[in-house]
Amino acid sequence: MEPLTPGDGMFEDYLAVNYRLDAALLEDGAVYYADGGDASEVAVLLVKDAANTQKVTDALSAYKYRRVSALTGYMPEQEKMASQGIITSKGNYAALLIIEDPAAAEFAFASCFNGNPPKLPDNASSRSPTPDEAGQSTPEGGAPATDIELSSDPNHTASHSPDPTPAPGVTEPEQGQESGRPDSQDETPSDPGEGDALGSPSESPVQESSPTPSQDTSPTQSKPPQPPTTPSPSASELPSSTPSSTPSQQPPTQSPPTGAQTETPDATPAADDRYNRAAVLAAWRSGDSSSLTEKNRKILEAASDVIGSRINQGMSDYDKELTIHDWIVLWTSYDEEASSTSPNATPDPDNDNPYGVFFSRKSICAGYSSTFQLFMDMLGIECITVAGHARDLFTEHAWNMVKLGGEWYCVDVTWDDPVGDLPPTYISHNFFNVTSEFMRMTEHIWDEAAVPEATATKYAYGYSR
C-alpha cells in the first residue's frame, strides 16, 4: 500500500475528497491505500480534540459504506473485505482498518494503548506521540485495552451484503472473477477489426449450468440496507447526459416502450469526437459512414466486424442477444482504476462508451450498457438502457432491458463480468434475462415508473429452444 502523511502534499486532499474530513481537526495521522481495484486501506488519525473523535469515526464509517457501495457487483472479493472492515477509536485516536484480517489489526491497534505494545519494525518512525503524551491512560499488563470505543457504524463487524443470487439452477460462481478474455489481459489491440481480434476465443468459454424456462428467477432476499449517514453523492459513473431510461432507435413499425423517454434520432455527429449513438446507427442503416467522426467510424467498424463474425441470419433474437452478451464479457475488463481511491488513479477516458470496450477493452457500467444497447439497435432487437443505482442512491449504475416475444427482460452485462479470480474464459449469466423482482432483490434501484416491469421467465438463460 502507498503511504500518505501530513508531510505529503496529497494528505489533506485525500482526507477532504475521500473521508470528507477537514485536516484542521487532526494533530497527526497516516493513511495507507492500495492502487487499482484493491480495497485495502489503513488509516490512523490523531484528533486534536477528543470531543471530535466521534465526528472523525463517523466520517470513516460513512467512507467505508461508500467504498462497499462502489465495489458492489463489480469486485465481490474486495466488496467483502471492505464490508468486513473495522472502524475503532481510543481517546484521541481513530482508525480505519480495511485489510484481509481486520480483527488482528484491531488487536494491534488496541495493544498500542497498554504496557506492552507491539514491536515496531526497524524502519518505523518514532516521531508520533505516545499514548501518555497524547493524554491517554496506560493500563498495566500486556493485555489489549478492553474499552475500545467502536464507531456508530452498524456494520462494524457485519459480513458483507449477500452476493447477487443467481437464477435457480445456476451454479453460483466463486467470489470474484477476472473477466474472461480472448487474449492476455495486458494486450491492448490497436484495431479490433484486425485479424481474429474480435473473433472466437481460442478456448471454449466456461459457463454455469442452465435453468429451465419454467424456473422462476425471483430470489427471496430482503431489500438493500440504507446508509448509516447521509453523505453527499460520490462522483458519477455515468455521463451527465444519461437520461433515466434511453430507448433504442426502433423501426418505424414499432413504438417505444411505455414509460420510457422517446429519443429523436439525430444523424448529425457532435462537433467533437464523442460517442454519438444516433450517428453510428444512421451510418449503419444507410451504409454511408462518411459523415462520422473518426472515433464513431471506428466504433461502427468494430461493431460491424463483431456482428459479421458472430451473427448469422438463422439465429433467433435470443441467440443473437446471448452471443453479444458473451462476447462483451469475454472481450472486456471492468476498469478497476475507476474504483480506485488512489490520487494517481488513471481510469480509461473512454470507459463509459463503446470505444473503450472495443479498443481499450476496459469499461464501467455505462460502457458495458451503451455497447450492449448499440449492438441490440444494430440487430433490430428492442432494447432500452436503465440509468439507476446499485445498493444505495449514492452509487450510480446502468443496465439494459430487452424485449423478446413481446415481453421484457433485464440484462446487467457489467455484473456478469465481475473482477476476481475465476478462469479467464468463465462467463456468468446471473443477470441475463432476469425479472425486475430479481433486480430489486440484488440491490438494483431505479425509477420504476419510467421503464417496463419485467416479469417473464421464458427467455431466462438456458431456456429450451
Q: How far apart are CA 436 and CA 452, in angstroms?
A: 9
- Asked if 385 and 241 count as a contact pair (C-beta separation under 8 A), the reply is no
Contact assessment for residue 379 and residue 324, using Cβ atoms and an 8 Å cutoff = yes
Residue with cell 485495552: 145
Q: Which three cell numbers stand for residue 135?
A: 493524554
Q: Report how far residue 96's alpha carbon sits from residue 341's, in angstroms, rounded to the nearest whole number.
A: 14
- Would you say 411 and 272 are in contact if contact means Cβ atoms under 8 Å apart? no
Per-residue model confidence (pLDDT) at position 369: 97
φ, ψ of residue 162 to 5 degrees: the values are -60, 140
Residue 74 near residue 419 (C-beta atoms within 8 A): yes
Report the distance separating Cα 207 and Cα 400, nearest Å: 21
Average pLDDT score over the chain? 74
Give residue for cell 425509477.
447
- Residue 136 contacts by C-beta under 8 Å, 6 or more apart in sequence? 90, 91, 92, 93, 113
CB atoms within 10 A of CB 311: 17
> What integer pLDDT is reported at residue 216 of this predicted model?
41
pLDDT of residue 421: 75
Question: Environment class of residue 463 by beta-carbon count within 10 Å: exposed (0-12), middle (13-18) or buried (19+)?
Answer: middle
pLDDT score, position 465: 56
Q: What is the pLDDT of residue 442?
A: 92
Predicted local confidence at residue 115, as pLDDT? 77
- Other CB atoms closer than 10 Å to residue 142's CB: what's the count? 10
Q: Kindly state the cell numbers that stand for 221.
A: 432476499
Provide CB contacts within 8 A for 305, sequence distance 6+: 192, 193, 198
Q: How many CB atoms lie within 10 A of CB 244?
A: 16
The answer to whether residues 395 and 405 touch, using CB atoms and an 8 Å cutoff, is no
pLDDT mean values, one per 10 residues, the chain (465 residues): 86 87 91 84 92 92 82 77 90 92 90 80 54 41 36 36 34 34 37 43 45 38 37 36 36 33 39 88 96 96 97 95 97 90 88 96 95 98 96 89 97 90 83 96 94 96 71
Q: What local confidence, expressed as pLDDT, does residue 219 receive?
A: 39
Amino acid identity of 234?
Answer: S
